[in-house]
Chain A
Amino acid sequence: MVVATKGSVTDLSNGRILDDSIAKRAIESAMSYGAEYAELRLVSETTNSVTLKDGKLERAIPGQQVGVTMRILADGAWGVHSTSDYKSIDSQVESTVKLARAVASRRTSKQPRVGLAEVPIIEDEIHWKSKKDVRDTDLQTRIDLMLAIDREARDHDDIVSTSTGWSDEHIHTELLTSEGMNRVWSFQRSLIHGMVTARNETGVVSYRMRHGGEGGLELIEECDLGAMGETARISALRLLGAERAPSGRMPLVADRDLTGVYIHEALGHPCEADLVAAGDSCLEGRLGQKIGSDICTVVDDPTMRGGYGCYPIDDEGVDTRPKNLIVNGVLTEYLNHRETAYRYDLEPNGGARAQDGLHHPLVRMSNTVIQGGTHKDLDELIEDIDFGIYACGSRGGQVDTGRGSFQFAAQEAWIIENGSLSRPVKDVSVSGMTLEILKNVDGLSKDARLASPGFCGKGQTVPVGDGGPLMRISEALVG
């Protein structure tokens, strides 16, 4: 039986789900079939999501899900089996070894065998405790906090609807490997978000907001939720009257949200070593090369507590650490997992993440931040711009890592004219080429910090944090 709710039969932060004898039998069986490496990773997630529409409870969904993924490396190739029926995992060992061998048999002499970089073999448990365990939060508390946003967000006749959401999760992971790795870790994430829709005779617009990160109820309680709702309302009403953005090449100043999305899409993804290995990264072979302006220093840091992309241990059991992707414009490090670290003879840096227990780990970002610069504030960044765009709030982005082209879209924006913000515009998107636009970053404000939490899709979806300071790009393709 799977019971992952606090207070019920099994408190997972203090116990284990994987039956030790089943797990050991599966791993020993894989090795007896000639596997080079075998791994079992179980993830149990206790989740709660709540939605209010126009301030009324629309749905609340408590849930429990468990998945286990078995990865087997045989003859230098991977076979994988994932299931929510974790008790039967040992029955799938032989077929998974066969899968790996079938993949291996297709490898040509020019294609490298999969190998794994050596890492410390650790047996331990790490449980990141939240100040206020989110599993102790009752539904009414969640609703009350959401209503704090909703009340401010709806306070105008032109706001025709509001939608407020809540999502929290307690994640418990167990990892056992044939090398003797035996690690258990747990942590929590909490998120509150909303959307307002405004309508008048000029049209209909919407504006979204998010707050959250790694942690429990305290993260939400610390936020000025009323101010968040008010900001959303004001922005939506401003967008109603905004004109369409101009198109063309022009200077761009981005707020923290967009700076974060920019650095995530334009730099972070091409730095993922599995994409480099696939021949799908414009940064292949560029370690040590200057790819950005001197003021660009970018860190991906899963240890940045509170960030939505935090995790204590990566999904291969490797301890996490900050990764310096770019230092003063020079590409210094790829994000990697054990396979790509082995392939490129790099130190494993804890970049393996899987969506859940039913997916295998890929190389992923965590909290990706461009460091602050020397400009005092927005005024100083825009004072010498004759005509440009100040863009705020993210609607998301996308990258073609092979080509090195990317796109991201802003929620709202202003025209900059003669060194000042003049009028609001809407539908601003920015596109460019990674290897060009990083060199065009010519101004950063001093204060860098994480922006709104986000999600990253790469076949699997994982929570991420990103951010930085206000950033000026001397020339960007807008619209």
Chain B
Amino acid sequence: MILIPDDAVERLFNSAEKIGKACDSAGISQWEVYATQGYGHSLEIEAGKISMASGGGDGGFGIRIVDQGRYGYAHLVDPSSAANAIEQALSIAKMSPSIEGFELPENQSSQKVGGMLDKSLLDLGPEELLSQGDLVIQRVKELDSRAVAVGGGLGVGAGADVILTSNGIEDGGIHTSHGIGIHVSIDENEDLTSSYEGESSRFMLKDLTASVDKAVHWSQITRDKIKGGDTEDCPVMMTSDGFSPLFSVVVPSAISGERLARGESFWSQKMGESVMAGHLSLIDDGLMEGGMSSGSRDAEGVPSQTQTIVQSGKLTGELWSTRDAAKMISEGKVESASTTGSAVRGGHSSPPVCGCSDLILSSSAKTHARDRLIEEMENGYIVHSVMGAHTANPTSGDFSVTTSTILKVENGEIKGALSQAGFSGNLASALNGNVILGDSSIRKGSYSTGSMHVPDVLLMDGLRINPA
């Protein structure tokens, strides 16, 4: 079985061309048509069994028009209704403020990014996916007879997307994905422990059981309970899995050029200043081979870049889309800015907005294995997951979340698990304090804000643990 039709890109191009011609006929000088079509299979796991299998497809078209710095957008499912959508976009453009200097980007040559497509995934049919589900459920039982896969699932997808503009940008391609999420719990002696783990890739996941092993491990290791002590301001070692969701809420919005210019970022007015520990760097890589948020062009057809945002602790870069850059210049909020190839979109129903791609936190200092980080910490806590990461405040960097996968460390050794604890602080301040990174850089899923590549991180300053 082939997951996506061979001519999927060609079909989208044909439809996009028709919409583009309709824009030309309407006298629109600058237009952009984005088209997408996705297909996939998935299965759901519930109570130790596969509870449902599903398949399907979704797609549509987004039309952006620009006239004298004013822009309008509309989206549609069926290209034969394009005239109506174009009319809507035009009427919106007439009411939009004119932004001096805002034009759709010109065509520039772009660098091909590999690893976007795994042909073997195109042939992965529902039956094979179900067999993978069997393997996952079986693995849970093999590792611990008490453990149950209470939730989760597997999915495989292929998508085609195309961008076509009046300025000569014409690009399209197919990408694939394969993912697993597994929620394991152990419920024994009136004590339930659990862990959710997940992984996704543009290629066939090499080891489906890795997530299972981790979920069972954390469900087991958090059963050895100790009594929580008093509230402590203390070092915290966050595993990559625990740190990534919090990082994804707080950091990507802080490096948007527009938010920096509008004073909405905790790093506003700090360009060139130290904002992180001196050995840390932050790189937004839109050209990462196989990157879940990478590609040869951004969402408005500008060639992608690899850009350093924080270099040796100093803020040196920011992310811009074409419109944001023109707008902030026209409003006098910045003297100069230009697109950094950082436009992203959530599908055909969303116009391009500024966002990060594959965001990497790295260190020039020596990094350490998890055991060594625990030794370095001496006394503190290990946090593997948090509840409420989405409630963190991206404007200030403040967060106050809860964790039920937390281990207490004394004298460099794990003493046991707390049943639950509050965990609070300011992530911007913590990253600007004494920080040591682990030696594993793992990409933890794709968020609406891009894909995070963060290792285990030991944060020594400014964090508080409040045991339940």
Q: Which A residues fall within an 8 A CB radius of B?
A: 1-3, 5, 8, 53-54, 56-57, 59-67, 69, 77-85, 92, 95-96, 98-100, 102-103, 106-108, 111, 139-140, 143, 160-161, 197, 199, 203-206, 244-245, 247-248, 274, 277-280, 282, 358, 360, 395-400, 402-403, 405-409, 426-429, 431-433, 477-479
Contact = CB atoms under 8 A, between A and B. Distances in A.
Interface centre among A60, A98, A205 (most CB of B within 10 A): A60
Interface centre among B47, B71, B77 (most CB of A within 10 A): B77
21 contacts: A54-B262, A59-B71, A60-B95, A61-B73, A65-B75, A81-B56, A82-B55, A95-B126, A99-B54, A99-B55, A103-B52, A106-B130, A139-B91, A143-B95, A160-B263, A206-B395, A398-B390, A402-B187, A407-B401, A432-B468, A433-B468
A102 B401 CA distance: 41
B80 interface: yes
A116 B387 CA distance: 34
Interface stretch (B21-29, B57-65, B102-110, B307-315): B57-65
Interface centre among B76, B193, B231, B268 (most CB of A within 10 A): B76
Contacts of B151: 278, 280
Given A61-B350, A61-B351, A83 B391 contact: no
Given A397-B391, A407-B401, 7 more contacts: A57-B95, A102-B53, A102-B126, A277-B46, A278-B150, A427-B393, A479-B424
B466 A403 contact: no
Closest 7 pairs (CB-CB, A-B): A80-B54, A429-B400, A409-B391, A160-B263, A82-B56, A407-B402, A431-B402
Looking at chain A's contact residues, the main secondary structure is: strand
Contacts of B71: 59
B396 interface: yes
Contacts of B404: 400, 403, 405
A247 to B, nearest CB: 4
B77 A103 contact: no
Contacts of B95: 57, 60, 139-140, 143
B167 to A, nearest CB: 20
Contacts of B183: 280
A82 B51 CA distance: 17
Contact of B52 (A80, A431, A478): A80
A468 B56 CA distance: 40
B52 A360 contact: yes
Nearest to A339: B51
B19 to A, nearest CB: 14
Contacts of A92: 55
Interface string B270-290: 000000000000000000000
B230 to A, nearest CB: 9
B73 A60 contact: yes
Nearest to B464: A247
Given A102-B130, A199-B268, A477-B468, A107 B185 contact: no
B54 A83 contact: no
A82 B130 contact: no
A197 B263 contact: yes
Contact of A1 (B48, B80, B192, B262): B80
B391 A408 contact: yes
Contact of A197 (B60, B185, B262): B262
A280 B48 CA distance: 11
Nearest to A394: B391
A325 B126 CA distance: 39
A429 B74 contact: no
B387 A407 contact: yes
Given A429-B400, A429-B402, A1 B49 contact: no
A107 B50 CA distance: 8
Contacts of A57: 95-97
Contacts of A405: 387, 402, 404, 420
A84 B56 CA distance: 9
Contacts of B187: 279, 402
B364 interface: no
A102 B266 CA distance: 52
A66 B388 CA distance: 32
Nearest to A99: B53
B81 A64 contact: yes
Interface string B227-241: 000010000000000
Contact of B77 (A66, A108, A278): A66
A3 B79 CA distance: 11
A397 B183 CA distance: 19
Nearest to A205: B396
B97 A56 contact: yes
A81 B55 contact: yes
B264 interface: yes
A206 B50 contact: no
Contact of A429 (B58, B388, B468): B388
Given A84-B57, A140-B95, A400-B387, A204 B398 contact: no
A407 B402 CA distance: 6
Given A3-B84, A406-B387, A427 B424 contact: yes
Contact of A395 (B56, B76, B393): B393
A245 B100 CA distance: 45
A395 B396 contact: no
A3 B59 contact: no
Interface string B345-365: 000011100000000000000
B74 to A, nearest CB: 5
Nearest to A163: B264
A84 B58 contact: yes
B208 interface: no
Given A80-B52, A405-B404, A206 B75 contact: no
Contacts of A432: 468
A103 B393 contact: no
B88 interface: yes
Nearest to A57: B96
Nearest to B183: A280
Contacts of B399: 427
